[in-house]
Amino acid sequence: MVKILLQLVKKSILLHALMAVGIGYMMSLPTLADFKWDVFGVALMGLGFVFSGSASLNHLQEMHYDMQMDRTSKRPLPSGNVSINFVGIFSLILIGFGMAMLMLVFPVTVWLLAASVVGLYNYVYTPLKRITWLNTFVGAVPGALPVLCGWSLSGQPFSVLAFYLFGLYYFWQLPHFFAIAWMYKEPYQKAGFKMLSLTDDTGKKSAFYSMVLCVVLMAFVFIPYYLGFFHLPYLIIMGSISLAFLYSCFQFVKESSIKKAKVVMIVSIVFSQLLFVSIVIDRLVS
């Protein structure tokens, strides 16, 4: 049962979102000495419940579509391992309990942002996936909002750095998802999802968008360093993985194959993990 619940809450995405919360909170503070573990712990619980409930609700919303794709047909609902009623109640309890915790403990900005994640992910992005390929640009917003949730925990107003962090988390997702959409073009088409890859017979469009958006991402990687927000450890780590990310997108443009798209996807995952590592190290040693 634990395995099923972890599938429902999309544990990998949840972990990434909670890491973004940690980065946002840490970077909003004047010094690491101001980091309050009790505050952060409660926030992780509350936001974790909300994000988990949102992910679980998405399983319910897309159950019939998941049944039509091999890569998702083994999920808890399509496989019959849990009932619709169970997932519905489970999702509402998680979201309700998480929001209650946030409203009781944190500033209004925190729970409004958490509510925005649910609203945008479940009621804007999810329906848009069956309407327009531009859904990817919308879906990256709730994917990046957790870093602002974290920033808001301290009660500090959003600064230029907060928006750079949001941009980092927003733009890294786009090449990642365009590559995935090309890799799984046929299953998405079968399930009725309107992805860019469906109008992209050669993969050149997907590769081009990945490359251009990766170039935009580079600005959000390097400018904060030159503005003095980050230091040499960040530059070394993020400079290296950013160049690797850009190179993988360039190779995808040269050869728009599933193999090259998979490399973009893998490098993008490493990028997101090293982003967390680099900022933590940079903050600790600076």
Domain count across the chain? 2
Q: What's the pTM?
A: 0.93
* Last residue within a domain, chosen from 157, 183, 206: 157
Residues 23, 54 share a domain: yes
**CATH number where 234 lies:** 1.20.120
Residue 232: CB partners within 8 Å, gap ≥ 6?
A: none
- Tens-digit pLDDT profile for residues 129-140: 999 999 999 999
Residue 130: domain span: 1-157
Same domain, 21 and 147: yes
**Residues 189 and 212 grouped into a single domain:** yes
* Secondary structure of the chain in HEC code, one letter for each residue: CHHHHHHHCCHHHHHHHHHHHHHHHHHHCCCHHHCCHHHHHHHHHHHHHHHHHHHHHHHHHCHHHHCCCCCCCCCCCCCCCCCHHHHHHHHHHHHHHHHHHHHHHCCHHHHHHHHHHHHHHHHHHHHHCCCCCCHHHHHHHHHHHHHHHHHHCCCCCCCHHHHHHHHHHHHHHHHHHHHHHHHCHHHHHHHCCCCHHHHCCCCHHHHHHHHHHHHHHHHHHHHHHHCCCCCHHHHHHHHHHHHHHHHHHHHHHHCCCHHHHHHHHHHHHHHHHHHHHHHHHHHHHC
Q: Which amino acid is at 224?
A: P
Residue 132 and residue 201 share a domain: no
- 168 lies in the same domain as 260: yes
Q: Are residues 106 and 209 in the same domain?
A: no
Give the span between the Cα atoms of 231 and 225, in whole angstroms: 6
Spell out the residues 6+ positions from residue 148 whose beta carbon is closer than 8 angstroms to its own: 24, 113, 158, 162, 165, 166
What's the token pair of residue 161? 């750095």
More confident residue, 27 or 8: 27
* pLDDT tens figures, 234-282: 999 999 999 999 999 999 999 989 999 999 999 999 999 999 999 999 9
Indicate if 177 and 132 belong to the same structural domain: no
Q: In this structure, are residues 75 and 66 in contact, taking their beta carbons and an 8 Å threshold?
A: yes
CATH number (domain holding residue 135): 1.10.357.140
* Mean per-residue pLDDT, 112-122: 97
In this structure, are 110 and 227 located in the same domain? no
Q: How far apart are the first and last CA of the chain?
A: 44
pLDDT of residue 192: 81
Please give the share of the chain, as a percent, with pLDDT higher than 90.
76
Q: Is there a single domain that holds both residue 1 and residue 108?
A: yes
Query: Is residue 286's pLDDT more than 80?
Result: no
The verdict on 9 and 142 lying in the same domain is yes
Torsion from C-alpha of 101, 102, 106, 112, nearest 10 degrees: -160
- Look at residues 130, 157, 184 and tell me which one is the last residue of a structural domain: 157
Q: Which of 102, 128, 157 is the last residue of a domain?
A: 157
Are 31 and 101 members of one domain? yes
C-alpha to C-alpha distance for 76 and 251, rounded to whole angstroms: 36
